[in-house]
Structure 1
Amino acid sequence: MKDVPVLIDTDVHNALRSAKDLLPFLPKVWHSQWISSGIGVGAVYTSPIGGSRKDAVPEQGGSPGSDPHFLLKHHMDAYGIDYAILTGSGLLVLSLQPDPDYGNVIAAACNDWMAEHWLAVSPRYKGSIFINASDPQAAAKEIHRIGHHPDMVQVIMASAARFPYGQRFYHPIYEAAEQYGLAVAIHPGTEGRGISGAPTPSGYPTRYMEWHNILPTNYMTHINSLVCEGVFEKFPRLRFVAIEGGIAWMPHLMWRMDKNYKALRDSVPWLKRLPSEYIREHIRLTTQPIEEPDDPEQLLQILKMIDAEKTVMFSSDYPHWDFDNPRMALPPMPKPLKQRILAGTAMDLYDLHKRPEARP
C-alpha cells in the first residue's frame, strides 16, 4: 500500500545548535548555571575518532544534527525515511545530575524546545519526552504535562542508572507512560557518569573501546529487572525500547532466565509466564549497532530466536560516527521480516500506520 510507511528510523539524534537555544524555555534563575556548565556531568569515556560524522554539520554551521531542515534533506530524504524518532544528543545525562531540581527543569526545557524547534517543523519528526529518571515523581509529572502532545511517542531516559529499572522506585514513570500510551526507551552513552555506578560490575574499563564493547551488560541488567520485578504484570500495556544496545545477547538472556525460573519461580510469584514470553511481548530492540558475524546466516538465526519480526526495529544512529545506512545495514533476509524491521514493528509501537502528510 502506497500510504503505508516503508522506513522508520527509531534513533535519530537531534541536537541543540548552541546552549543558548534552551534559554527561552528555562526559568531565568537557572540561566547562568546552564550557560557556564551545561548539564554539569562530564564524560568519562570519549571516542578517539569523535562522536559524529563530519558531513552532518549543517550548511549554516552548528552541531551535527542541529538543523531540522538540513536533517530532512541530508538524512531522511536521502534514504526515503518516512519518520524519524528523535532521541536528542547529549541530554540524557540530566538524569544523573546530583541536583534533582536542576535535572527536572532541564528535562522540561528540552521537551519544550523539542516541540517548538523540531516537531513543529515537519510531521515526519516524532519526539521522545526527556525525563529525570532519578526523580520519578517529578518525571511522572513531566509526562502528564506534555504527554498529550500528538507528536510525542515515547519517554526516554539514560540507560545508566543508580539501580535497575525494574525496581518499584521507578514505577510512577511507567504508570504515567502507560496512561498516555507511550513507550519507555533507554539509550546508552552515560554509563559510569554522574550519580550512576561503575559501567561494569567489576568497575571502570580503561578506555572507550572497552566501555563501548560491554554496554549490552547494562541492558541485560535492566531487562532482567523489569521482568523479574513484575513490571509487565503491573503495567501490561507498557512497551520498553532498548535503543542501541545490540541484539545478539537477547537469546542468552531469555534462555538463562527461563531455565532459572523453572527452579526459582517461588521467588517471583507474581510472574504468570516464562520470562522469555514477557520479553517477546514487551521489549523492543533497535538494529544499530547490529552485530556482524563473519557468516551472515548466524545473525539470521539469532533474529529467528528472538522473533525479530515482532521485537526488532531499524535505527541509524544518525549523525553519530557508527551511523548505519538503511540500504546496507541488514543482511539478506526474507522480505516479510525485512519489512517488519524497517517499518512494521515501529508502525505498531508508535501508531504510525500512515505516511506523513505535508504540514502547512
Structure 2
Amino acid sequence: MAQDATQLGQRDQQLSLLDADVHQRWADDEEIVQYLPERYKDDGLVLPALLYRNPGEFLRQDEITEDGGKPGSDLEKIVTDHLDKYDIDYAMLTGNSWFNLAALPNRDYAVELARAYNEWLVNDCLPVDDRFLGSLYIAPKAPEKSADLIREYGDHPQIRQVILPGGAEVPYGRPQYWPIYEAAEAHDLAVAVHPYSEGHGTSNPPTGAGAPNSYIEWHTVLGAYYMGQLASLVTEGVFVEYPDLRFAFIEGGYGWVPHFMWRLDKNWKGLRSQVPWLDEKPSHYIRNNVWFASQPIEEPERTEHHNQILEMMHADETLIYASDYPHWDGDDPSWGLPPMDEEMERAIKAENARELWNLPADPAELGEP
C-alpha cells in the first residue's frame, strides 16, 4: 500500500507539514454533557483518572488561555499559536487524553460518551478551521455499537481517523473488534492507537511485569504495550482480512519498531504453522498497513544512530510527524526532528500522513460536511 516517497514528492509539493497529534479539549464539561442523553446528563463526565502523577504536569503553561482556561481549550489559540505559526497544512485533533472509554465498566455509558464527544467534535471543533482533521471516539468494549458510530460520523469530510486507547481488556487483534475495522475500512478511515487507559479503570496493568511504581516507569514502557497490540493485530490476521485498513500508533515512540519486526519475522519462520493465514512475513504487513508517530522523538547520543533507526524501520514509508501539542514534552515543529536526508524529512513531515489519511493537497478540497 505504501507509495514511493519520491513519486509522491514529485506529484505534489504543496503539503509540507502535517501534525498527527494535537490535543484539543473542552473548556467546561458542559460542552460534552449537553450532547449526552437525558439518562446520563446528571452523571456528567465520570472517567477513570491516570494513576501516575507527572511532576512536570502535562500541559504547557504558556498555552493557558487569556481567561485562565487549560491549554487546548481555545481552538482559535491552537490555530494562531500552532497551525499558523508553523505553517501546518493539516492537524489531526486527538482530543483529551483523559477520555478513557476503554477503561469504563459501563459499555452503554461509554458509547454515549463517545457519541457526545463526536457531536462536540463535528459541531464545535472542526468548523473552526478547515485544516483541522477529526479522530472519532468509540467504545472498544462495544464493537458493534462502535461500528455504528463510525457509520454515523464517518462520512464527514474532515473525519479521517478512528482512535482507540492503548489499554484494553484484550488485545486489538481479537475478532471481537473486527466490526470496528470493517466499518473503518469501508469509510476509508485510518485507525489510531493513542495512550489513554493503560493501567487504570478496567484496563490491564501497563507492563507485563505488573503495575509500575511511578510515572517515569509507566511512560517509558508505553512502547511495550504497543508491541503487544501490534503483535496481536498482525498475527490474528487483521491486515489479511482487511488489506486496505490503515493503522497508526501515536505517542509510543518508534525506536522499538526495527527490533519488533526482526523478532516477529524470525519467529514466523519457525512458527508459521500457527498463523497459516499470513501469506507474507509479518514485517510486510507492518510496512504496508501501519504507521508510527514521531513523538516522543528518540534521542540517541549520536545523530547517525537515529538515522540508522529511520533506515531500519523504513521510516520513509512508516513514520509520521506528531507534535503532541500542547503537552509540555511535545516536539516543536521547528526543532522536533533531528537533521536527516531531505527526502526522508519530506516523507515524515507530510507525505506519509497524507497517505495514511488519504488527503487532498488543499484542505478546501475536503468538501462540505
TM-score normalized with structure 1 length: 0.96
Moved more, 243-252 or 186-195: 186-195
Matched ranges for 1:141-156 at <5 A: 141-156=148-163
* 1:26 aligned to which of 31, 36, 51: 36
Which residue is equivalent to 1:212?
Answer: 219
Residues 155-234 of structure 1 aligned to structure 2 (within 5 Å)? 155-234=162-241
1:317 — aligned with what?
324
One-letter code aligned to 1:31: K
Please give the alpha-carbon distance, in whole angstroms, between the structure 2 residues aligned to 1:354 and 1:201.
Answer: 43
Q: Is the 8 A contact 2:104 2:110 kept in 1?
A: yes
Task: Tell me which moved more, 321-330 or 172-181.
Answer: 321-330
Once residues 289 and 54 of structure 1 are traced to their aligned partners in structure 2, the CA distance between those partners, rounded to angstroms, is 19
Match of 2:7 in 1: none
In 2, the alpha carbon distance for the partners of 1:143 and 1:163 equals: 21
Q: Secondary structure at the match of 1:103?
A: helix
Counterpart among 289, 292, 303 of residue 296 in structure 1: 303
| Residue 264 (structure 1) aligned with residue 271 (structure 2) | yes
Match of 2:289? 282
Aligned AA (1:298): H
- 4+ residue stretches of structure 1 with deviation over 6 A? none
Measured after TM superposition, the shift of residue 170 of structure 1 is 0.7
Matches of 2:13 and 2:306, distance apart in 1: 31
**Aligned-residue offset at 1:332:** 1.2
Cα distance between partner residues in 1 of 2:46 and 2:259: 36
The Cα shift of 1:91 comes to 4.6
* Corresponding residue of 1:236: 243
Q: 2:116 aligns with which of 106, 109, 112?
A: 109
2:96 pairs with 59, 78, 89, which one?
89
Kindly tell me the number of residue pairs found equivalent between the two proteins.
Answer: 357
AA of the residue aligned to 1:25: Y
Counterpart amino acid of 1:28?
E
1:14 Cα deviation from its structure 2 partner: 0.5
Report the residue type matching 1:134 in the other structure. Answer: K
In the TM superposition, what whole-angstrom CA distance separates every residue of 1:308-359 from its partner, at most 9, and x where no partner exists? 1110000000001111111111111111110110011111121223133499
1:2 deviation in Å? Answer: 8.5
Q: Distance in 1 between matches of 2:21 and 2:211?
A: 27
SS at match of 2:363: coil
Unaligned runs of 5+ in 2: 1-10
CA gap of 1:3–1:294, structure 2 versus 1, over 3 A, is: closer
Deviation of residue 78 (structure 1)?
1.1
Q: Distance in 2 between matches of 1:180 and 1:135?
A: 19
Deviations 1:274-310 (A, max 9, x none): 0011111111000000110010111111111111111
Q: For 2:292, what is the secondary structure of its paired residue? A: strand
Asked if 1:308 corresponds to 2:315, the answer is yes
**CA shift at 1:25, angstroms?**
1.1
The match for 2:6 is none
Once the 2 structures are TM-superposed, how far is the Cα of residue 163 of structure 1 from its aligned partner?
Answer: 1.1
Q: One-letter code of the match for 1:233?
A: V
CA distance in 2, matches of 1:189, 1:146: 22
Secondary structure, aligned partner of 1:33:
coil
Report if aligned partners of 1:129, 1:154 keep a CA contact under 8 Å in 2: yes
SS of the equivalent of 1:123 reads coil
1:307–1:347 CA distance, 2 compared to 1 (3 A): same
Which blocks of at least 5 consecutive residues in structure 1 are unaligned?
none
- Aligned counterpart, 1:353: 360
Query: What is the TM-score when the length of structure 2 is the normalising length?
Result: 0.94
Could you tell me how far apart the structure 2 residues matched to 1:333 and 1:120 are?
A: 36
Q: Which residue of 245, 258, 262 maps to 1:255?
A: 262
Q: Match of 1:342?
A: 349
Q: Which residue of 1 aligns with 2:26?
A: 16
- Percent same amino acid among aligned pairs? 43
Counterpart position of 1:47: 54
Q: How large is the Cα RMSD of the aligned pairs?
A: 1.6
- Report the Cα offset of residue 54 of structure 1: 0.3
> Does the CA contact (< 8 Å) of 1:5 and 1:353 recur in 2?
no
Cα drift, residue 59 of structure 1: 2.2
CA distance in 2, matches of 1:278, 1:310: 12
